[in-house]
């Protein structure tokens, strides 16, 4: 039994992208949603609509979800043309139906990017992000226990910037918003997070070169500084990190290619 509510309920239409599999053709299908509570999250509405679809004997809408607290980065949908929908600094699971009005038609589709192939309906394969992370988003030095790590002085400005970068949840909204499907904001956040910490210095050059190379190999596009990425980021990560990563990349590339002449090859001698 549904608990009574004093909220004014309303009705909307969900226009959802349905695609049975990676190679199957896709299309938009309309689903009416009645008695929508404005305090429902968008994912809760999808749950309700799926219950109704299932009762009718049809295949429910496939969508990705996990924590529903804006932490895991799983709930990635494009809603009315914007990754994660209307609002700023929120994931799809933090979008509430009070953002919409009576009679609205809400268009829901998966993130569109070559590197994020559609698996089914609203679910995409974002394994490309995992490959980038595995290429260098870690440190292999021994940091010791927590007290040992805490004994290393870190300037507050660096600590704050590293924490800002570390808030990236890898949802892929930056890629979906970019007209080139660039992953620069994601990679920049991961590179900067470790590059700002003393524990990340031994592998700093190797890290940025490997992660950028893996990003290019995965099929992501180039960055053209339009900043749609930071505009839709649910954690409000600044595009300034891209400039920081570019500086690290150029420095690492130069050092990897520069070979000083040895004394033996310098000529002269007795």
160 pLDDT tier (thresholds 50, 70, 90): very high
Domain 127-263 falls in which CATH fold?
Fumarate Reductase Iron-sulfur Protein; Chain B, domain 2 (1.10.1060)
pLDDT in tens, 162-177: 999 999 999 999 999 9
* Residues 212 and 248: beta-carbon distance below 8 Å: no
Task: Tell me the CATH class for 10-120.
Answer: alpha beta
pLDDT in tens, 176-232: 999 999 999 999 999 999 999 998 999 999 999 999 999 999 999 999 999 999 999
- Average pLDDT value for the chain: 92
Measured between alpha carbons, how far is 202 from 153 in angstroms, rounded to an integer?
17
Reply yes or no on whether the pLDDT at 114 is more than 50.
Answer: yes
Reply yes or no on whether the pLDDT at 265 is more than 50.
Answer: no
Going from N- to C-terminal start, the domains of the chain cover 10-120, 127-263
pLDDT confidence of residue 7: 82
pLDDT confidence of residue 63: 98
What's this model's pTM, rounded to 2 decimal places? 0.89
């Amino acid at each position: 039994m549904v608990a009574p509510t004093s909220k004014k309920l309303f009705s909307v239409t969900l226009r959802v992208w349905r695609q049975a599999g990676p190679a199957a053709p896709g299309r938009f299908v309309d689903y009416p949603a009645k008695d929508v509570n404005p305090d429902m999250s968008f994912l809760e509405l999808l749950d309700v609509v799926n219950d109704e679809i299932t009762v009718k004997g049809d295949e429910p809408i496939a969508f990705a979800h996990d924590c529903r607290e804006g932490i895991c980065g799983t709930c990635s949908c494009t809603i009315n043309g914007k990754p994660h929908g209307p609002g700023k600094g929120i994931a799809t699971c933090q979008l509430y139906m009070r953002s919409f009005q009576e009679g609205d038609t809400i268009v829901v589709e998966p993130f569109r990017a070559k590197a994020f192939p559609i698996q089914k309906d609203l679910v995409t394969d974002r394994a490309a992000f995992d490959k980038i992370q595995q290429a260098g988003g870690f440190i292999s030095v021994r940091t010791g226990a927590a007290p040992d790590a805490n004994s290393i002085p870190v300037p507050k400005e660096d600590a704050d910037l590293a924490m800002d970068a570390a808030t990236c949840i890898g949802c892929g909204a930056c890629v979906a918003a970019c007209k080139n499907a660039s992953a620069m904001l994601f990679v920049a956040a991961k590179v900067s997070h470790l590059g700002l910490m003393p524990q990340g210095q031994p592998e700093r050059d190797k890290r940025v070169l490997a992660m950028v190379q893996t990003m290019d190999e995965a099929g992501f596009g180039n960055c053209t500084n339009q900043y749609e990425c930071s505009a839709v980021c649910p954690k409000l990560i600044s595009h300034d990190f891209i400039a920081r990563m570019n500086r690290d990349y150029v420095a690492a590339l130069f050092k990897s290619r520069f070979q000083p002449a040895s004394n033996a090859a310098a000529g002269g001698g007795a």
